[in-house]
Amino acid sequence: METKKLDFSATLKDAITIGVKNAPSVIAAVALWLITIWIPYLNVGTTIAITLLPTQLAKGEIVNPLAIFDSKYRRYMGEFFITMGLMVFPVLIGFIFMFVPAIVLAIAWSLSYYYLIEKGKNPIQAIKASNDATYGSKWTMFFVSLVVGAVIGIVIAIFQTLCNAINVGVITFIVMFVLYVLAISINMAVNASFWKQLKDNVE
């Protein structure tokens, strides 16, 4: 099987298409997640649901924002936490070696949760599958994420400056909340494009 590799411009275009098509439902789902993130136990299921949202977007599905509260997501709590633990500590160690190894590992393993739940792999298999699937595409993933992140950062900085000039606390909070919701939603569209293109690199 030929390994699929990402193309920078095609991936950006695909992410924009996915994001525009699903913008209202994804924004609503992210907003609901942020509003309820403080509720114990419920927040585990909603976090897993939000993490998996790109896999639904990659299928072309229109997301139901209320679906993040479905109890089925909490059944994956153990596997989710184990996978997180297996990834977090090596990435932290990577930071000791001047950041670059940590960035490489974070990108290489970024599809792990999708393989864990969508493909039914165990935590170690999921991490390896993600590493194999992203082989040859890590630089493209990095630059796409960098460009999208830079644009989001500039927009947030501009609005932050404007809000500070107005100096109205409530307005600042509302504007920044909306911007952060949009930022997370855009990032999901990018991850959906990564998954859509790379998921079949591993059986």
In order, the DSSP letters of 60-95 are: TPPP-GGGGG-GGGGGGHHHHHHHHHHHHHHHHHHH
For residue 91, CA distances in Å to 26, 108, 110, 117, 122 come to: 28, 11, 12, 21, 19
pLDDT at 130: 97
DSSP codes joined into one string, the chain: -PPP---HHHHHHHHHHHHHHHHHHHHHHHHHHHHHTTSTTHHHHHHHHHHHHHHHHHTTPPP-GGGGG-GGGGGGHHHHHHHHHHHHHHHHHHHHTTSHHHHHHHHHTTTHHHHHHHS---HHHHHHHHHHHTTTTHHHHHHHHHHHHHHHHHHHHHHHHHHHHHT-HHHHHHHHHHHHHHHHHHHHHHHHHHHHHHGGG--
User: What are the residue boundaries of the structural domains of the chain, listed by start?
Assistant: 20-201
CA dist., res. 144 & res. 142, Å (int): 6
> Which of 28-32, 126-130, 161-165, 170-174 has maximum average pLDDT?
126-130
Q: Is the model's pTM score more than 0.75? A: yes
pLDDT band at 201 (very low <50, low <70, confident <90, very high): very high
- Convert the pLDDT of each residue in 16-65 to its tens digit: 888 888 888 988 999 999 999 999 999 999 999 999 999 999 988 788 99
